[in-house]
């Protein structure tokens, strides 16, 4: 039986994760400098939040090196599903693992829009990431026309079910979801906390239908799309919002750190 009030305390038991998606920004030396600055800021932030940075492939190694000995975790922005082979331009999970990478973003809307990513390829990449012990951040989100056409829930349900097809409960429990309404990415338009919360609650209900209450309630679901220091607190204060996937505001140490501090406040 569904009982909204029953889940009221589970937010605190979920892992709060704020991840910076650097997209195609920062060379190796620029990334190193950003992480050095972030390290200083992060030292003073509550250990209750997991801080992740996701640089481009060629910047990963310098960032892993710079983050050593700190609490900052490193993620990649994509991973291929095959172990190796004739896949020009792709990177395998084993390559990321050996580089010291812990997280990986899968199915970002920019990959879905510009690089032919589908629910099926997201599912294949997710399986490869899990098999290699990478922590996946799986992105889902509707387009503006889908929201305006009343198709948001159908799209999200299809994306969640597609991503998790054939994935065991044990593996599903290791996945982080990021809800990123495509119309809010890089546009300055954020979903209102109410709209974001209603959508997160729906996504969690889809996970609940697939895997049951414990896994649904334990799953970190980040919000992404123009999250910044000024709105992070109110967004993360929502019951089903457990952090953020941050683009633009993650490219400077001071704004990213301030956003993380606001998220911690919101999560209390």
- Among candidates 75, 163, 84, 96, which has minimal Cα distance to 124? 163
Smallest distance from the beta carbon of 139 to ligand PGA, in angstroms? Answer: 7
Question: Looking at the DSSP assignment, which residues form a beta bridge with residue 224?
Answer: 245
Give dist(CA 48, CA 252) in Å, integer. Answer: 22
3-class DSSP assignment, residue 74: strand
The reply to whether 224 sits near ligand PGA by the rule CB under 6 A is yes
On whether the CB atoms of residues 221 and 200 are closer than 8 A, the answer is yes
Window 113-152: contact mask with ligand PGA (x via CB under 6 A): ----------------------------------------
- Which residue among the candidates 117, 146, 180, 217 is catalytic per the annotation? 180
Of 225, 238, 260, 262, which one interacts with ligand PGA (CB under 6 A)?
Answer: 225
Footprint (CB under 6 A) of ligand PGA, residues 246-265: 246-249
Smallest distance from the beta carbon of 209 to ligand PGA, in angstroms? Answer: 26
The reply to whether 107 sits near ligand PGA by the rule CB under 6 A is no
Smallest distance from the beta carbon of 54 to ligand PGA, in angstroms? Answer: 9
Q: Is residue 265 annotated as a catalytic residue, yes or no?
A: no
The reply to whether 54 sits near ligand PGA by the rule CB under 6 A is no
Give me the residue label for tokens 């501090």.
Answer: 261
Footprint (CB under 6 A) of ligand PGA, residues 147-186: 180, 185-186
3-class DSSP assignment, residue 209: helix
Smallest distance from the beta carbon of 105 to ligand PGA, in angstroms? Answer: 8
Q: Is residue 90 annotated as a catalytic residue, yes or no?
A: no
* Token pair recorded at residue 19: 């991840």
Q: Which is nearer to ligand PGA, 175 or 211 (CB)?
A: 175
- # chain residues binding ligand PGA, by CB under 6 A: 13
Cβ-Cβ contacts under 8 Å for 87 (sequence gap 6 or more): 80
Give dist(CA 80, CA 84) in Å, integer. Answer: 9
Question: Looking at the DSSP assignment, which residues form a beta bridge with residue 52?
Answer: 19, 73
Q: What are phi and psi of 169, to 5 degrees?
A: -60, -40
Smallest distance from the beta carbon of 212 to ligand PGA, in angstroms? Answer: 29
The reply to whether 226 sits near ligand PGA by the rule CB under 6 A is yes
- Among candidates 11, 14, 12, 13, which has minimal Cα distance to 176? 14
Q: Which residues does the annotation mark as catalytic?
A: 108, 180
- Residues that bind ligand PGA in the complex, under the rule CB under 6 A: 21, 180, 185-186, 224-227, 245-249
């Amino acid at each position: 039986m569904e009982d909204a009030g029953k889940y009221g305390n589970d937010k605190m038991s979920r892992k709060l994760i704020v991840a910076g998606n650097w997209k195609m920004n920062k060379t190796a030396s620029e990334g190193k400098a950003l992480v050095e600055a972030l390290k200083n800021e992060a030292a003073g932030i509550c250990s209750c939040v997991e801080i992740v940075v996701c640089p481009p492939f060629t910047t990963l190694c310098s960032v892993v090196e710079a983050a050593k000995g700190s609490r900052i975790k490193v993620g990649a922005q994509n991973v291929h599903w095959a172990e190796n082979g004739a896949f020009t331009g792709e990177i395998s999970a084993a390559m990321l693992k050996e580089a010291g990478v812990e997280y990986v973003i899968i199915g970002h809307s920019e990959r879905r829009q510009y690089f032919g990513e589908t629910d099926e390829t997201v599912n294949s990449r997710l399986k490869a990431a899990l098999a290699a012990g990478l922590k996946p951040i799986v992105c889902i989100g509707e387009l503006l026309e889908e929201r305006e056409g009343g198709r948001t829930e159908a799209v999200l349900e299809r994306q969640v079910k597609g991503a998790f097809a054939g994935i065991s409960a044990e593996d599903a429990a290791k996945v982080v979801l990021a809800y990123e309404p495509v119309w809010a990415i890089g546009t300055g338009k954020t979903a209102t906390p109410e709209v974001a919360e209603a959508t997160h609650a729906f996504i969690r209900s889809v996970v609940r239908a697939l895997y049951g209450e414990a896994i649904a309630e334990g799953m970190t679901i980040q919000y992404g799309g123009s999250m910044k220091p000024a709105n992070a607190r109110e967004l993360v204060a929502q019951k089903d919002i457990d952090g953020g996937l941050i683009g633009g505001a993650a490219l400077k140490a001071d704004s990213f750190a301030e956003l993380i501090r606001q998220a911690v406040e919101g999560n209390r």
